[in-house]
Amino acid sequence: MKGVALDPMKITLFRTARRLLWVALALNLGTWSVAEGLPALSPRELVRRAVENEIKSNNQATRYMCLQRRETPAGSQTKLLVETRDAMVGLVVANNGQPLNREQRQAEYGRIERFVNDPAELARKRRQEKESAERVNLILKALPDAFLYEYDGTETGRPGVGKPGDELLRLKFHPNPKYDPPSRVELVLVGMQGVVLIDAPKQHIARIDGTLFKDVSFGWGILGHLDRGGHFQVDQTDIGDNTWSIARMDLAFTGKILLFKSIDIKSTEIYSDFHLVPPDLTFAQGIQLLKQQQASIAQNRTSSDGSK
């Protein structure tokens, strides 16, 4: 079969146009160069794959213990958290940086041990955590369709955001005018814009930073609304063995519920000191593990104070 003869001039023009297209894309995407390579996926497809991986990771049986510090205008609270097969166990160990005294510790033990002594309470806690996780998954699943994305350069991973030293793709996002929220859970997304950082090879979201650029009403404003300027930021990091977890979460929202009750949320949560725990850990075993960790922290603090 004979080949089709091609005009040398057309071949030259085609090759030149192709090179110009690659150069234009490289300039448009900021820090990428032709030599380094361009993202092979569309921004939406990259987000979709990262979201699918996040949901898959959330369903894994791997469990961890960590330290959580929550700061609000009223002060700070530090907790030890451990995931168990039954539910999350949280033990308060300090308020405003001060360890609990003996009386406060006993009260805290009583608060968490009631879940072991009352199966109905534990079942209620497990149900609440499941419902909360389902709402988070609804938001995650909506991300690829709720927004329009465009590449905006790269950043380097750092402690608390991705994996230190790894390249993160930065994408700007704003609402997709064709998106129709299926429920009130996703409704907040229609008024939000911001930036997301993604580790493309690992398909994980390292940061999502969003701001409400307009008021968002629920139920035609009857059920309530969130004010323009509301902001949230969630950072994820690699805590080892390619396992990612939330390292920081900032929330700042105001508004109203049912026209009368005001909403004023302002908090920062920082998660650190992750340790792997057995996947079949029970709630009661989780309590004992946190008590041991609390004693270890207290002993280390005493030793540190004594050496000063």
Domain ranges of the chain: 6-38, 43-306
Rounded to an integer, what distance in angstroms lies between the CA atom of residue 279 and that of residue 180? Answer: 39
**What pLDDT sits at residue 14?**
34
Low-confidence ranges of the chain (pLDDT < 70): 1-39, 219-223, 259, 301-308
Rounded to an integer, what distance in angstroms lies between the CA atom of residue 182 and that of residue 34? Answer: 41
**What pLDDT sits at residue 302?**
63
**What pLDDT sits at residue 219?**
60
**What pLDDT sits at residue 304?**
60
Instruction: Confirm if 141 and 102 have CB atoms less than 8 A apart.
Output: no
Full-model pTM: 0.81
**What pLDDT sits at residue 10?**
34
| Strand ranges inside the chain, DSSP E | 63-72, 75-83, 88-95, 98-99, 147-156, 167-175, 192-199, 204-212, 216-218, 224-226, 231-240, 243-257, 261-277
Classify residue 168 as left (phi > 0), alpha (psi -120 to 50) or beta: beta
**What pLDDT sits at residue 223?**
66
**What pLDDT sits at residue 252?**
95
**What pLDDT sits at residue 74?**
95
**Residues with Cβ within 8 Å of residue 53, at least 6 apart in sequence:** 202, 203, 204
Residue 234, number of CB atoms within 10 A of its CB: 18
**What pLDDT sits at residue 57?**
84
First CA to last CA across the chain, in angstroms?
A: 88
Determine the Cα angle at 74 with ends 235 and 126, to 5°: 60
Rounded to an integer, what distance in angstroms lies between the CA atom of residue 175 and that of residue 156? Answer: 26
